[in-house]
Structure 1
Amino acid sequence: MTLKLYIMLNALACIQGLPNKTCDRVKIQDRWYEMEIIWANFGRPFNLYAHKTTNTVFFSYTVPETYSDVDFQLAFIDMDTKEFQNIAGIRGGCSVAIDHVNEDIYLGGSDGIYKYNMMTKLADFYKEAGKNIWALFFRRNLFYISYPDQKLHIEIDGKFAIVKEFESFEVDQFHVTTDSEDIYFANKTGFYKYDNARLKVNVINDVITVRQIAEDNDGDLYVCTNLGVFIDLKNEGFKKVLDFKNIYSLTFDKDNNVIISDEKRIIKLIHTMTGCPDTRNVDLH
């Protein structure tokens, strides 16, 4: 374990919650962090993904249309200017994937996949017309998970096909790591690692509900769940480093700052040299 990772783990493990109304900072061991509310009053923002070049965080949030139906809206926040904008033209927009090499931003909704243009601020239709896109992921190829069958698809030579190795599985979350290309996925029955060499699925945890799988800028793998946030310590396995149960998503901006969301807010953790006289903390609400 690197010294940087050790310090991060110990710091995150000591977080007790957000500060109360009289203080906008929280003490993490001997360091203070300001909890900056980036945006509030969303309906459960999730699927946070940071576009590093522009330091923009894309995400989706729930929008109640009637008393019985809930729809989804895609949006973005510029982390430098705090500009917020809804992304128009994508019905039921709920998923994001970013190809950081080619600067392509993919967005998914209830009628297919779109590509977002940062210059024009417009989303143009890409592929899979009429398909309901549950989730997107990019690692060399573009993947998507269809809804409601929860099948994993991959784009090869311009066309999408179901990933044969996952034909017999429902998939809610999918991730391939940057460095080792380890394959992880999750569904309603638990969290798994796919052994590509042995064509075998290994159970990591059959209790947690995975809300998002993400990597920081150093390639460390985080899993956001209903029981808190876990990090992959490689040979030591996954360890819980954040005990909040109402975090729905997390990502990392261009400076590797942690960006998290709860039921209504998007929050950024910022290191600060000044603290507060009252160190009492409250949980995320």
Structure 2
Amino acid sequence: MVSSIGLAVILAAILYVCATETHNETHKCEDILVHDKPHKKHIVSKGLNRPYQLAFDKHEHRIFFSHNIGSDNEDEFEIGYIEKNQMLPKTVASVINGFAIAVDNNDDVIYYGGSEGIYKENLKGMEAVNDTKKVHEVVKGHNIWDMFYKHALYFITYPTQHLYKLTSKNEIERQKHVHEEIYQFAIDGHDDTFITNETGLFLIKNETKERILYKGPKVFRAIEINNKGTAYFSGKNGIYVANKTHHALDLVVKVKNIFGLAFDNDDNIIYSNPHAIVKLLPGKCD
């Protein structure tokens, strides 16, 4: 996991200083446009401290996330999750400084990344009280920055910001075709790759090495692929979707201070702000 000093430095470079949180956002009902259609905010959980790395369990409808449990001056991250129709989070045990999360919804497996490696757990039969015996270590000695799952687990290490792949034999392979130091990585439904680095967002088309710079925002906190295979990005002033025709980002939702991003089974957007996890549901406020 990232040290408190290291995390502060790198987050200062790629994240945004949070403006004073408008707590009214979590209490008042207000319409918000998603793809130009009215939606209402449903508060999934609140009272959190910078929930990152949202991930959705499509079978049990759990929302996983990492959040800071340290003081305002020191970052100490922990992985938690919220059960369907509940607001109080539960804690995933045995992951020191848990920061990164990736879900394999086909095989009902979740991966947790922390300061000492990567851990794996079967989502089926997860008990209300986390059973540490069900969490198995699969990668040792790597400080995990971010993870993504498609057919295999990909992960980014800190502080090198290098991309690796976990093979079926639990061996790790450096992904040398992504030679840059990167912050996020994702593969969309066309098997095209998106990466972010200090200069912005790039597309690497399937079976090519050419980098295509995307027009629009340059700094992001998350990339997420929806159920249709479309890539979405959380930027400084909203959530964007990849426009592959013009190699640009189109604004989908105008909302500030987003930390994490995910989609439920119906492709409703789930996002987190500095203190809450919110789901956007179709329809106008009552």
Displacement of 1:63: 1.9
Q: Aligned pair 1:126/2:132, yes or no?
A: no
Q: Per-residue displacement from partner, 1:184-207 (whole Å, max 9, x unpaired)?
A: 111222111123433222211485
Q: Aligned pair 1:170/2:175, yes or no?
A: no
Corresponding residue number in structure 1 for 2:205: 195
Contact 2:119 2:139 in 1 (8 A): no
Cα distance in 1 for partners of 2:122, 2:75 equals 27
Contact 1:112 1:125 in 2 (8 A): no
Where 2:59 maps in the other structure, the secondary structure is coil
More strand by percentage: 1
Cα distance in 1 for partners of 2:53, 2:97 equals 14
Cα distance in 1 for partners of 2:60, 2:272 equals 20
Task: Choose which of 49, 72, 77 in structure 2 pairs with 1:72.
Answer: 77
Contact 2:69 2:77 in 1 (8 A): yes
Cα distance in 2 for partners of 1:205, 1:144 equals 26
Partner AA of 1:244 in structure 2: V
Displacement of 1:224: 0.8
Structure 2 unaligned regions, length at least 5 = 1-21
Count of residues in Structure 1 that have an aligned counterpart in Structure 2: 256
Q: Aligned pair 1:226/2:253, yes or no?
A: no
Q: Per-residue displacement from partner, 1:78-108 (whole Å, max 9, x unpaired)?
A: 1334452011211110111111111110010
Contact 2:32 2:39 in 1 (8 A): yes
TM-score by length of 1: 0.81
Structure 1 pair 133–20 and aligned structure 2 pair: CA distance change class (3 A): closer
Partner AA of 2:67 in structure 1: Y
TM-score by length of 2: 0.80
Between stretches 139-148 and 217-226, larger displacement belongs to 217-226
Contact 1:135 1:144 in 2 (8 A): yes
Partner AA of 2:271 in structure 1: I
Q: Aligned pair 1:160/2:169, yes or no?
A: no
Partner AA of 2:131 in structure 1: L
Q: Per-residue displacement from partner, 1:40-99 (whole Å, max 9, x unpaired)?
A: 12111111110101111111111224x642111100011334452011211110111111
Partner AA of 1:41 in structure 2: G
Corresponding residue number in structure 2 for 1:258: 269
Task: Choose which of 213, 224, 232 in structure 2 pairs with 1:214.
Answer: 224
Task: Choose which of 26, 29, 39 in structure 1 pairs with 2:31.
Answer: 26
Partner AA of 1:261 in structure 2: S
Contact 1:214 1:251 in 2 (8 A): yes
Partner AA of 1:37 in structure 2: I
Sequence identity of aligned pairs in percent? 26
Task: Choose which of 245, 248, 256 in structure 2 pairs with 1:235.
Answer: 245
Partner AA of 1:122 in structure 2: D
Structure 1 pair 165–38 and aligned structure 2 pair: CA distance change class (3 A): same
